[in-house]
Structure 1
Amino acid sequence: MNDDIMQKPPARRLGQQAFVLRDSPDGQDELCVLLVEPVYRDGCTLPGGSAEADELPHLAARRHLESETGLVLPLRTILTVDYVSRQTYPEGLNLVYAGGVVTPKQAKAVNAHRPPEHIRALHWVPRSSLDTVMPPARTRRVHDAWDAWEHGAGRPLLLRGTPVPVS
């Protein structure tokens, strides 16, 4: 085996995001997705962020979800993988995990949560309004994750070929 191959591995970002839904807060028969509004970029995005060195991807997603929204959810199923070419940031992959539909009690806790200073606000947004609060690329990512969630098309994250535990 030649260990020289990876002496200088390529730099690439690995983003982890959570797709979390709730019933419409205004009583409409519509689901809403949880979005964060960061202070460092325009528009909203799914909760999440980068994994640290040697941090398991699903645990990075869970860590970011908890710090940004207060939710602690088992994240194992990947709904979509979004490749982002190098532009402002190095090229990267964003993995979007299924967080499921939260209970009214969990949604209330999110609304009471005080996010970290890099998050301006938390929003519950119906699918029909995504285009008004997100740039097109992020909107397409959320629509793709939503489609996968609706059709049960997600895939479990594997660790060396074995599905990660749900916890």
Structure 2
Amino acid sequence: MKPPSPADPVAWNAYLAEGNATQPRKRVAADVLITDSDGRVLLVKPTYKPGWDLPGGMAEANEPPHRAALRELREELALDVAPLPLLVVDWVPPHGPWDDQLCFVYDGGVLPHDRAAALRPHDEELSDTAFVAVADARALLRPRLGRRLNAALRALTTGCPEYLYDGSAYPEHR
């Protein structure tokens, strides 16, 4: 069947909507790298999964990743930060029950000592927060997230965002 012409906007939009409904959807996560004045990294302890994580979370339907990151910081930590420069995009392949995912990491800047010391979980999704040395953060995070943290720290230094494949440098030959 021949697709309708854009000259017929109603039929054209219905045709595009049908195509859109059959396209795959990506899960999107948006995390934020925040440090304190001593260079320690902010980690959060979610109540809904084991271990520690970077602050942030999942984007809602049709929500831009940077806005998801800002929303999650406000909801979970009552924290507002300046606009977020992008540090990392990581494509994570399907694993366990999950489809593939795009994970963004943004630069949340440096919190002064007083704001860092006052930071506490603000909703039921977090049980704890901690500013920890980078080496300790790497040890507390799941391996893929530790590699993502390393890439974010490199991007802070170089000023160039990094694209990762499952937490590692993107293999050009894939």
What TM-score do the two structures reach when normalised by structure 1? 0.79
Counterpart mapping for 1:65-144 below 5 A: 65-88=73-96, 89-110=98-119, 113-144=120-151
Unaligned runs of 5+ in 1: 25-30, 156-167
Per-residue deviation, 1:119: 1.1
Per-residue deviation, 1:105: 2.5
Q: Is the 8 A contact 2:59 2:65 kept in 1?
A: yes
Cα deviations by residue, 1:102-158 (Å, 9 ceiling, x for unpaired): 122221231xx3332121211111111123211111100111101101222249xxx
Q: Is the 8 A contact 1:69 1:122 kept in 2?
A: no
1:147 aligns with 2:129: no
Counterpart mapping for 1:146-165 below 5 A: 146-154=153-161
Aligned residue number for residue 3 of structure 2 = none
Q: Is the 8 A contact 1:11 1:90 kept in 2?
A: no
Aligned-residue RMSD, C-alpha: 1.9
Distance 1:46 1:75 in 2: 17
How many residues of Structure 1 are paired with residues of Structure 2 in the alignment? 147
Distance 1:45 1:150 in 2: 22
Cα deviations by residue, 1:45-70 (Å, 9 ceiling, x for unpaired): 11111111222321110010122222
Q: Is the 8 A contact 1:18 1:46 kept in 2?
A: yes
Q: Is the 8 A contact 2:138 2:149 kept in 1?
A: no
Output the amino acid matched with 2:86.
I
Distance 1:75 1:140 in 2: 24
What TM-score do the two structures reach when normalised by structure 2? 0.76
Larger radius of gyration: 2
Aligned residue number for residue 44 of structure 2 = 36
Distance 1:154 1:74 in 2: 18
Q: Is the 8 A contact 1:14 1:92 kept in 2?
A: yes
